[in-house]
Structure 1
């Protein structure tokens, strides 16, 4: 039975990932900074209140995993925030730091402590949640884009370092995923561009070959594949789950 950790796993994409792994018979542990969401996590999934960007909290989390589970097979470094939406000339440095702190520092800390559990076992899978913004860029989202490009660079370096120890690392790059988070992004972008939210949403959908937004279940399905033996030679890859985005400026 695989042991799976999903950071930011009490809400959104993370929760759908966690439920997919649990449905596949895995033992699943999630973390989140949202205390109310942690309380709502379905029975059968272990949940801990934890800030993915706080090294002390992450060190304690992985110590608990080592004590209770004896190791970790799959790490889903999923924690992230949308960050500010603003023109680069108006970008507050404090907001920049906060966005990179959660999205990039959180991924690094997960990999750091995950490696300490996986290397002795000589096996493991790390799955990082990046974004199509980390592949193409997105106007008015400079901190988020920089962080998600950084996640891909981190993943590729981790894949190189840990491959000789039997550990694979990949990044999933979702497109615009249906749910409350993309609703907030669309509202902020609409305000920044002087457009209506409906027009921005339609622009996101029309900029894909499939002409629709992605569902969280599509992302979870990719995570299950990457964690499986079917992906045993897939490592160091940034894999888009976006319906083939070709216009990134709606």
Structure 2
């Protein structure tokens, strides 16, 4: 049975992807900082039967993605429990929230909170790094799929959420760089760039400001993620998803050959 690790797996997009994978016969580890929702999610998945009638297999591991040791322990636990291979990692944990970045003060300016950056970018960096490590050791051959949750804010300005936009730009840059470096090792790296999805990322009060038609159904996200997992040619793709439409956002063209050579690390 193939094995998946999903951060932010206790609810929202992570749980939605996990639900489909379990139904298709995967073993799925749900990593989440919220033990209440994570344990409930795993119990619910394990109460269902997969297609061949055997018991579904799901595991919850409480994990703070900003802490490398938490993630390292979680990956080791999954590998030990299910035979070593990790085939798919969904680096999905994230928050949006408000920010004190723009706060004004008559006194000495205070350091803004970096929690959004720590979860949305550092968590993806740590998760992707560990995914790469385990996928290089998969048997009988190295390989696997990493999908990171970026955002429409990876490619557009988001003036109310500057640190969220900065983090998500970083996620997209990480994915594009990793996808080129790891392609020869059989590790495919992609990102999804969702628009507004009514999950626990924001409160009901915030979501109610938007017309219903602005939201992207979570089923479209699941379909896009699984499409990236199942397409053996899919790597380096940035899939923007918005209100019923999906767009493959290509990297911008290099401004000239010099920039292309520098960015690709070539000295000639």
TM-score, structure 1 normalization? 0.83
Which residue is 2:152 aligned to?
132
The 2-side partners of 1:177 and 1:119 are apart by 33
1:1-250 → structure 2 map (5 Å cutoff): 1-41=1-41, 42=44, 43=46, 44-69=57-82, 70-85=84-99, 88=102, 90=104, 93-95=111-113, 97-121=114-138, 122-183=142-203, 187=206, 198=208, 200-202=209-211, 211-228=213-230, 231-243=231-243, 244=245
Are 1:13 and 1:220, in contact at CA under 8 Å, matched by a contact in 2?
Answer: yes
The 1-side partners of 2:64 and 2:76 are apart by 15
The 2-side partners of 1:106 and 1:93 are apart by 21
Asked which structure has the greater RCO (Cα within 8 Å, sep 6+), the reply is 1
Which residue is 1:190 aligned to?
none
Q: Following superposition, which runs of at least 4 residues in structure 1 exceed 3 angstroms of deviation? A: 85-94
Rg larger for: 2
Residues 130-166 of structure 1, C-alpha deviation per residue, up to 9 Å, x if partnerless?
1111121222100111111100001111111211100
Structure with greater helix percent: 1
How many residues are treated as equivalent by the alignment? 224
| Structure 2 residues not aligned, in runs of 5+ | 47-56, 247-268
Are 1:88 and 1:142, in contact at CA under 8 Å, matched by a contact in 2?
Answer: no
* Alignment RMSD: 2.0
TM-score, structure 2 normalization? 0.78
| Structure 1 residues not aligned, in runs of 5+ | 188-196, 206-210, 246-250
Q: CA deviation at 1:52?
A: 1.0
Q: CA deviation at 1:110?
A: 0.6
